[in-house]
Amino acid sequence: SQQGEEDPQALSIQEGENATMNCSYKTSINNLQWYRQNSGRGLVHLILIRSNEREKHSGRLRVTLDTSKKSSSLLITASRAADTASYFCATDKGGSYIPTFGRGTSLIVHP
């Protein structure tokens, strides 16, 4: 079964708006990662947040982690058409450091 699940499954916004995606997971983790997948391509790592961290930033990306709620969010600020992609969270199931992925959120940013 999936360890992490993203929500919503699909998100459609206008360029310049912020995009927020959420990830919920089931068991304790060492860290949580977010990846991006452009159509027809492999996944690309965006950001990793450790279990003892609550928030992390990278450029226009902001990730939060709430271990008490077993959830994370990915915020993309001032979105661009080039941000159109699927976004996946990955958690290391049972502290194994082996990433397992959710089904992803499909983001469409309209120019």
Partner 1 sequence: DAGVIQSPRHEVTEMGQEVTLRCKPISGHDYLFWYRQTMMRGLELLIYFNNNVPIDDSGMPEDRFSAKMPNASFSTLKIQPSEPRDSAVYFCASRRGGSGANVLTFGAGSRLTVL
For β-strands 99-101 and 4-7, DSSP reports them as unpaired
- Least Cα distance to 37 among 46, 27, 50, 26 occurs for 46
Judged by CB, which is closer to partner 1: 15, or 94?
A: 94
For residue 97, what are its two tokens?
């450091």
- Confirm or reject binding of residue 59 to partner 1 (CB under 8 A): no
- Compute the distance between CA of residue 36 and CA of residue 1 in angstroms, rounded to an integer: 21
Answer yes or no whether residue 31 interacts with partner 1 by CB under 8 A. yes
Taking a C-beta distance cutoff of 8 angstroms, is the pair 63, 55 a contact? yes
Which of 78, 81, 82, 97: binder of partner 1 (CB under 8 A)? 97
The size of the interface with partner 1 (CB under 8 A), counted in residues, is 22
Between 52 and 68, CB nearer to partner 1: 52
Q: Which residues would be at the binding site for partner 1 (CB under 8 A)?
A: 2, 30-31, 33, 35, 41-45, 48, 88, 90, 92, 97-104
